[in-house]
Amino acid sequence: MTDERPLSRFFRARVTAIADITPSFRRFTFGGPDLADYGDPGLDQRIKIVFPTAATPIDDMPTGEDWWTQWREMDEHRRPPFRTYTTRYVRNHLAEVDVDMVSHDVLGPASAWIADAQVGDEVLIYAPTTAHEGVSYGIDFVPPAHTDDILLAGDETAAPAIAVILEQLPAQARGVVVLEVPDEGDAAYLPAHPGFAYHVAARGGTRHEHLVAAVADAAGHLVPAGRGADVEEIDIDRDILWEVPRTAKGGAALKKAPLYAWLAGEAGAIKTLRRHLVTAQGVDRRAVAFMGYWRLGKAEV
């Protein structure tokens, strides 16, 4: 008998627990019978969460196959807002899912919800189902089969994805993690991996100063300087900075590379890192995933 379930769909999820695991990371545990079928392809699996507001209850969200077109056609003020997050843990036997979210000062629908949410509140989560069979379009960690080192770098929004990747990499994997977080206490967020050196720092005066300097330093040690290649300029206030090299079938663009780098965070910082790694350092861009997870001064949708 063929499995006719969709590979991804909206799940109805109710907050069952809220825990502040470090000063900036708040873990939301969601439950509800629907989540028994929530898929867990792992790594940096991205999901969409629909947040309720006073004017836009989640029941107004179109949830059929054509949801994106229908949502776009809705009156702007009637559209339930959604934002992108990362699945942290899935416990299908308990019909539970954890998502770690960082609240920030400039309020958007997600940060407003994160600050006020209570046990019992409901959201919708668009995520893979258990029918995914290991294939998911929401995964962007696609390293070559053979690589000496892995560089995982980002700001706090990338930390949940980096945490899952570290937990799933084999013990013999080697590499460097660079993370910039809002608070010193957030350094405890990442799980330990025996093969990785950690450069985690709290944000100082200038945003992303640590991230950019530590990635440049790590790349300098991990790969011999190559011949820099020009990168086309991207207008990050207009276009999304999302460059994930892969083959037409979705696999890694290269079979072998000395370094595979996965970089995610504020688009301005990622753009700086892209220029640095590819143009100045000469790292092969087919071995680097650059992802602008959010843009300073700009809402996600």
Ligand X SMILES: Cc1cc2nc3c(=O)[nH]c(=O)nc-3n(C[C@H](O)[C@H](O)[C@H](O)COP(=O)(O)OP(=O)(O)OC[C@H]3O[C@@H](n4cnc5c(N)ncnc54)[C@H](O)[C@@H]3O)c2cc1C
- Dist CA 301 CA 294 (whole Å): 10
**Is residue 110 at the binding interface for ligand X, with CB under 6 A as the rule?**
yes
- Dist CA 204 CA 297 (whole Å): 19
Question: With respect to ligand X, which residue has the nearer C-beta, 177 or 222?
Answer: 177
**Is residue 276 at the binding interface for ligand X, with CB under 6 A as the rule?**
no
**Is residue 296 at the binding interface for ligand X, with CB under 6 A as the rule?**
yes
Backbone angles phi, psi at 293, to 5 degrees: -75, -25
- Dist CA 204 CA 208 (whole Å): 8
**Is residue 295 at the binding interface for ligand X, with CB under 6 A as the rule?**
yes
**Is residue 109 at the binding interface for ligand X, with CB under 6 A as the rule?**
yes
**Is residue 299 at the binding interface for ligand X, with CB under 6 A as the rule?**
yes
Contact between 266 and 208 under an 8 Å Cβ cutoff? The reply is yes
Q: Which residues contact 298 (CB under 8 A, 6 or more apart)?
A: 237
The radius of gyration of the chain's CA atoms, rounded to the nearest angstrom, is 19
**Is residue 89 at the binding interface for ligand X, with CB under 6 A as the rule?**
no
The minimum distance between CB 256 and ligand X, in angstroms, equals 27
**Is residue 297 at the binding interface for ligand X, with CB under 6 A as the rule?**
yes
From the list 29-37, 67-75, 99-107, 211-219, the region that binds ligand X by CB under 6 A is 99-107
What CA–CA distances, in Å, run from 145 to 41, 51, 260? 18, 38, 10
Q: Which of 101, 163, 218, 223 binds ligand X (CB under 6 A)?
A: 101
From the list 33-41, 77-85, 116-124, 246-254, the region that binds ligand X by CB under 6 A is 77-85
- Dist CA 85 CA 142 (whole Å): 19
The minimum distance between CB 301 and ligand X, in angstroms, equals 7
- Dist CA 261 CA 152 (whole Å): 6
How is residue 31 written in tokens? Answer: 């439950």
Question: With respect to ligand X, which residue has the nearer C-beta, 4 or 105?
Answer: 105
**Is residue 294 at the binding interface for ligand X, with CB under 6 A as the rule?**
yes
DSSP 223-251: S------------TTTS--EE--B-TTSS
Q: CA triplet 250, 254, 257: central angle to 5 degrees? A: 140
- Which residues in the 41-70 window bind ligand X by CB under 6 A? 46
The minimum distance between CB 30 and ligand X, in angstroms, equals 13
Backbone angles phi, psi at 269, to 5 degrees: -70, -40
Alpha helices in the chain (DSSP H): 67-73, 109-116, 159-168, 209-222, 267-274
The minimum distance between CB 167 and ligand X, in angstroms, equals 14
Question: With respect to ligand X, which residue has the nearer C-beta, 29 or 281?
Answer: 29
The minimum distance between CB 269 and ligand X, in angstroms, equals 11
**Beta-carbon count within 10 A of 17 CB:** 12
Q: Which of 108, 185, 228, 282 binds ligand X (CB under 6 A)?
A: 108
From the list 1-9, 108-116, 192-200, 214-222, the region that binds ligand X by CB under 6 A is 108-116
Q: Which of 78, 221, 256, 298 binds ligand X (CB under 6 A)?
A: 298
**Is residue 204 at the binding interface for ligand X, with CB under 6 A as the rule?**
no
**Is residue 104 at the binding interface for ligand X, with CB under 6 A as the rule?**
yes
Backbone angles phi, psi at 253, to 5 degrees: -70, -30
The minimum distance between CB 295 and ligand X, in angstroms, equals 6
Q: Which residues are at the interface with ligand X (CB under 6 A)?
A: 46, 83-86, 100-102, 104, 106, 108-111, 157, 160, 293-300
